[in-house]
Amino acid sequence: MFYLTTAIDYTNGAPHIGHAYEKVLADVIIRYRRLRGEEAYFLTGVDQHGQKVQQTADKEGVHPATFVKRTTKQFLNLWEKLGVHYDGWAETTDARHKACVQAILSELQQRGQLYKKAHSGYYSVRQEQFLQERDRDEHGNFGPQWGEVTMIEEENWYFRLSEHTAWLKSVIEHNPELITPAFRRAELLNALDRSAGTDLCISRPKERLRWGIELPFDANFVTYVWFDALINYISFAGYHAAADAGLPDFARLWNVGGSRCTHLIGKDILVPAHGIYWLCMLHAMGFTEAQLPRLLVHGFWNSKGGDKLSKSTGNIVDPNELADKFGVDAVRYYLVRDIVTGKDSDFDLERLIMLFNTELANELGNLCNRALNMSQRFTAGILRHGAPLTPDEQALQASLADSSAAYQAAMDECDIARGLEAISRHVVYCNGYAERMKPWELNKDPVNQDRLASVLYHLAESVAHAAVLLSPVLPDAAAKLAAQLNLPDLTTLKLADLHWGLLPDGHLIGKPKPVFPRIVLEEPAAS
Ligand code: MSP
């Protein structure tokens, strides 16, 4: 079983393009795995507790529960709009999740992994954490990233993180596949060295934070939001759940006789949350080295010029607006086409339009139009394998084989941009082939009937393969193409079925309808 999770999104505000990217990327990866014939499960959701939610709700004068219900709906609506199809939905206010977090806390407490102590120090409200001396900048100040910083003294509960970091370091050194891309592994190993000897504060006193999961053994405290949120990956996978809880079978989902669970996360939450806290928490719960998840770390979409996309700078990109204006296909395509998984990219509306218009509307649209339209006009929609192959057809088939192999190699590594480039290469090749073969000329003389059939067949068969390969990224568009070609339901087709001859001799295709209308802007794109 391929079990994929994403980060669960904070619900103290509306979803932005970074959230959309991660969920679309996860959706593409899951659909691709299914296309490969694997059984796959996708969990995503929302992070509903914590100080930021409490503060925002207080400011609006509503109860945090009412507030998160509203913001959660925005995420649910967006995933529906963008065609992000998940199998499990994680909300941290869910009673089943709370019960799991509390059971884990009790177990850790009984095993002596938790202790209570008084601590005084500087606390960042924005980051919801105590600060260390090393968090000061070169002028000795706590920088703006920490927001308001206040000195507080309080008792809290701590997790003996320091007992696990040496083990974790050696595990990460010996299992390079645990962290992708590789350069993030080096970053994590450095961070592990720096954090050695420090334990993790896992509680917040109720007088400071009410909105959280109460500690089962000390009612004066709620659980630190990260400790709570990270557990979603197992609580919603059925860990410690009753058989009738409506959750999956944990043993089946979590790394039993199969691949490790994959957590897809952004680069900002590798260190310390996932790379250190979470892996050490799992170890303390009794998970072995072989049962650790794999962390797939993606980069950030920034605003043009490399600035962070943030509400405070007013350059936030609203994925809802984009989808309304340019269509879901254009947004999904751009989000995975113009960024290399693991690296950052600048969000650029002009490139969104250019990539859609060039690669989809012009190249693929043109190929579909030629293949389907000319087959309808010249051969009554019936495809014939036609004349014996000439070197031109052999070369076209070789181009498809090369592109398909490159696609699969890239997609296996979650490099969607390279996978899409591979499809585009073959599409461009086919348009060149059509221009050289000139089926519209061949049609003028009945003597060329067999040649004409062969050329049209090669174009239509290429469209069929392109539709299947594109389906993880553009499921709706691919389904429309498949319907026009009279292909079977795309969800039943697997990569292994993609041999030459998908469309049988004598196959009847349907009526062509444009699937990728060009984006035409009334006013110049402002980005
Ligand atoms: N709630 C925590 C995660 C808890 S996981 C147990 C959180 N939420 S978040 O809403 O701030 O971020 C959710 C995901 O979106 C993270 O993986 C984060 O890296 C990602 N992104 C946030 N901004 C982004 C971009 N500008 N670009 C790409 N991804 C970005 O962190």
Pocket test for ligand 1, best of 4, 16, 17, 22 (most atoms within 8 A of CB): 22
- The residue among 255, 362, 325 whose CA lies nearest residue 527 is 325
Would you list the DSSP string of 400-467?
HHHHHHHHHHHHHTT-HHHHHHHHHHHHHHHHHHHHHH-HHHHTT-GGGHHHHHHHHHHHHHHHHHHH
Q: List the domain boundaries for the chain.
A: 349-508
Residue 296 pLDDT: 98
Model confidence, pTM: 0.95
- Is pLDDT of 489 > 70? yes
Mean pLDDT of 282-302: 97
Residue tagged 């994590």 (tokens): 188
Terminal Cα-to-Cα distance of the chain (whole angstroms):
41
CB of residue 463 inside a 6 A radius of ligand 1: no
Per DSSP, the three-state class of 363 is helix
Residue tagged 């999770």 (tokens): 5
| Average predicted confidence (pLDDT) for the chain | 95
Q: How many CB atoms lie within 10 A of CB 376?
A: 16
Percentage of the chain modeled with pLDDT above 70: 96
* CA 135–ligand 1 middle distance (angstroms): 21
* CA 74–ligand 1 middle distance (angstroms): 16
* CA 268–ligand 1 middle distance (angstroms): 7
Pocket test for ligand 1, best of 71, 267, 269 (most atoms within 8 A of CB): 269
The residues with which 42 forms a beta bridge, in sequence order, are 4
* CA 300–ligand 1 middle distance (angstroms): 9
User: What is the rounded CA–CA span in Å between residue 146 and residue 124?
Assistant: 6
345-347 vs 9-10, strand pairing mode: unpaired
The residues with which 123 forms a beta bridge, in sequence order, are 130, 150
User: Who's near 102: CB < 8 A, 6+ residues apart?
Assistant: 213, 214, 215, 216
Ligand 1 atom nearest residue 47's Cα: 1
Q: Which helix (H) or strand (E) holds 266?
A: strand 262-266
CB of residue 47 inside a 6 A radius of ligand 1: yes
**Buried/exposed code over 289-318 (b: 16+ C-beta within 10 A; e: otherwise):** eeebbbbbbbbbbbbeeeeebeeeeebbbe
Residue 129 pLDDT: 79
Residue 126 pLDDT: 78
Ligand 1 atom nearest residue 232's Cα: 6
Are the beta carbons of 208 and 26 closer than 8 angstroms? no
Residue 226 pLDDT: 97
- Is pLDDT of 453 > 70? yes
- Is pLDDT of 526 > 60? no
In this structure, CATH architecture of domain 349-508? Orthogonal Bundle (1.10)
* CA 445–ligand 1 middle distance (angstroms): 61
pLDDT digits (tens, 9 = 90+) for 318-344: 999 999 999 999 999 999 999 999 999
C-alpha 485, offset from chain centre: 30
Residue 301 pLDDT: 97
Residue 523 pLDDT: 66
Whose CA is closest to atom 21 on ligand 1? 18
Token couple for 152: 């507080």
CB of residue 441 inside a 6 A radius of ligand 1: no
Residue 158 pLDDT: 98
